[in-house]
Amino acid sequence: MSLLNEIDKLKVSSNIDKFSNKLNLIDKSNDSCWSSNNGKNQFILIKLKNFFKLKQFNLTFQGGFSGKLCQILLYKDDDFVYQQPFYPQDNNKLQSFYLQEIFEVNKIKLLFNDSTDFFGRITIYNLDLIRSD
């Protein structure tokens, strides 16, 4: 089950312009996206309304602007709980990433340490968080 309706706050490291708003990540539209500014270490920080067991997350990148050296970090409030690397392909397809361990968390950080783009930009059309039953 998707956790998109359970998002309380959404923060991103940067926006390339006013049209690539962070809310485009969760609007379920393939016509809008979030694009970061130039530079490494871009991130998406998600605060949930309650604690949930996260088992999977889905991302749709724009090919040529995919993340490299990526990690998901999970938190209970401000206490770090778990970290796992993930390895997106550089394409426009929906990609699913499964957590090796499941924890009850209320804060999720997706960290993109590098990008397939020469300038370090990240472009994501869709983000979804899937909870464990």
Domain ranges in the chain?
Answer: 4-131
The share of the chain scoring above pLDDT 90, in percent, equals 97
Where residue 45 falls among pLDDT bands split at 50, 70, 90?
very high
Cβ count within 10 A of residue 79 = 9
Give the phi and the psi of residue 15 in degrees, each rounded to 5: -130, 140
Mean pLDDT of 58-75: 98
Mean pLDDT across the chain: 97
Strand partners, 98: 56
The share of the chain scoring above pLDDT 70, in percent, equals 100
- Asked if 34 contacts 112 with a C-beta cutoff of 8 angstroms, the reply is no
- Round to whole Å and give the CA distance between 24 and 20: 7
Across 90-113, b (16+ Cβ under 10 Å) vs e yields: eebeebebebeeebebbbbbbbbe
- Asked if 85 contacts 123 with a C-beta cutoff of 8 angstroms, the reply is no
Which pLDDT belongs to residue 106?
98
Which pLDDT belongs to residue 18?
87
Task: Give CA angle at 126 (15, 20), nearest 5°.
Answer: 20
Where residue 133 falls among pLDDT bands split at 50, 70, 90?
confident
Tokens of 58: 């889905």
CATH class name, domain 4-131: mainly beta
Mean pLDDT of 90-105: 97
